[in-house]
Amino acid sequence: MRVLSEAQRRRFDEDGYVEVEGVLDPACDLAPILVEYDEVLDGIAGGLLADGVIGSAHRGLPFPERLVRVCEESGRNFPLHFDISLPQAGTRPDSPIHLGPAVFGLLTNPRLLDVVEDIVGPEIYANPVQHVRMKLPKRAVAKQGRSGLISQIPWHQDNGVILPEADEATILTVWLPVNEATVANGCLRVVPGSHRDGILTHCPQTGELTIPDRLVADGALPLPMRPGSVLLMTQRTVHSSLDNATDRDVRISFDLRYQPVGQPTGRPAFAGAGFIARSAADPDSALRDPAEWAARWLAVRAAGGTDAPAFNRWAANTAGCA
């Protein structure tokens, strides 16, 4: 069954991305995720209160405002506690990660997979490069070191931040907001048509892989989006995101990746946490058990403490990266 219209498919092929509205039902598909994240935040706030780091757990505030308060008052940030992947380096046996059933429900949401199937085909593998990002107001970002999970993201192609093994794979990025993503709270920005220029040089600046501005073509567009919409993007589409310039809003979004079964993921260290999300040829091979998904990530975490994986193909002294 085709879900994307001809025009949407054309946009995806020509521009390297397309926004599809009304894929998810915010009340059914997104609200349960916020319930899980409320519990995660409750645990964080309760712990900080017990340790005397904050004077109130700020119970009763809406999630975004409560998260901002807890971060500001403690001077700390908690990017990993909500994320659904592990850090790129320094994974410890107790590194925080959130692997709740509502999040697994999003990763395997049938309407989401219908859209994915239009691009990827009927044998769909969920790539373990997947994140939730709680982008904080700039002012609430602690000095301890930036994380792209809570801050603005510099120009890059998703292909550039994984290993060359996946250069020829067809990895589809699916970006979706849980609350409204606006120019003010730091929505995504894309460069239409940039997926045709191959993989650009990414310089390892301030610990993050970044395409230098002079290599980024003109015509970048901000993409404000409403909950329920999903953005489909190729792995070569140049994108970044804006700062959250608001006072109390948190931009909450997921970026998920799917590809045909059998292709390299580009993050072999996390490959154990990838899974078949849908298969027409062998429907029983699809993972349906959220506990099994969580167990796979925990196994990757247990193995990851000793073996820091490499994610980067560019050295700091690459030409043009002075």
Ligand X SMILES: O=C(O)CCC(=O)C(=O)O
Of residues 51-80, those binding ligand X (CB under 6 A): none
Write out 120-156 in H/E/C secondary structure: HCCEEEEEEEEEEEEECCHHHCCCCCCCCCCCCCCCE
Strands 208-210 and 123-135: unpaired
Minimum distance between the CB of residue 147 and ligand X, rounded to whole angstroms?
11
Minimum distance between the CB of residue 253 and ligand X, rounded to whole angstroms?
5
Under rule CB under 5 A, residue 158 binds Fe ion:
yes
Tell me how many degrees the CA angle 212-128-134 measures, rounded to the nearest 5: 65
Of residues 243-262, those binding ligand X (CB under 6 A): 253, 255
Under rule CB under 6 A, residue 223 binds ligand X:
no
Under rule CB under 6 A, residue 293 binds ligand X:
no
Question: Residue 93 contacts by C-beta under 8 Å, 6 or more apart in sequence?
Answer: 301, 302, 305
Q: Which is nearer to Fe ion, 74 or 234 (CB)?
A: 234
Under rule CB under 6 A, residue 173 binds ligand X:
yes
Minimum distance between the CB of residue 305 and Fe ion, rounded to whole angstroms?
26
Chain CA centroid to CA 286, Å: 22
Contact yes or no for 50/261 (Cβ under 8 A):
no
Tokens 């998260």 sit on residue: 67
- Residues 184 and 243: their CA atoms lie apart, in Å, by 8
Contact mark string toward ligand X, 181..200, x via CB under 6 A: -------x------------
| Stretch in the footprint of Fe ion (CB under 5 A) among 2-10, 114-122, 144-152, 158-166 | 158-166
What is the DSSP annotation of 154-196?
-SB-GGGGS-GGGTTS-PEEEEEESS-B-TTTT-EEE-TTGGG
Task: For the beta carbon of residue 137, count every other beta carbon within 10 angstroms.
Answer: 23
Minimum distance between the CB of residue 155 and ligand X, rounded to whole angstroms?
10
- Residues 38 and 34: their CA atoms lie apart, in Å, by 6
Q: Which is nearer to ligand X, 45 or 113 (CB)?
A: 113
Under rule CB under 5 A, residue 118 binds Fe ion:
no
Minimum distance between the CB of residue 219 and ligand X, rounded to whole angstroms?
18
Three-class DSSP category at 46: helix
Question: Residue 249 contacts by C-beta under 8 Å, 6 or more apart in sequence?
Answer: 64, 137, 179, 182, 184, 185
Q: Which is nearer to Fe ion, 107 or 209 (CB)?
A: 209
Q: Of these partners, ligand X, Fe ion, none, which one is at the site of residue 253 (CB under 5 to 8 Å by kind)?
A: ligand X
Of residues 83-142, those binding ligand X (CB under 6 A): 133
Minimum distance between the CB of residue 237 and Fe ion, rounded to whole angstroms?
9
Minimum distance between the CB of residue 123 and ligand X, rounded to whole angstroms?
23
Q: Of these partners, ligand X, Fe ion, none, which one is at the site of residue 188 (CB under 5 to 8 Å by kind)?
A: ligand X
Q: Which is nearer to ligand X, 53 or 212 (CB)?
A: 212
Under rule CB under 5 A, residue 208 binds Fe ion:
no
Contact yes or no for 270/85 (Cβ under 8 A):
yes
- The binding site for ligand X (CB under 6 A) comprises 133, 153, 158, 173, 175, 188, 239, 241, 253, 255
- The binding site for Fe ion (CB under 5 A) comprises 158
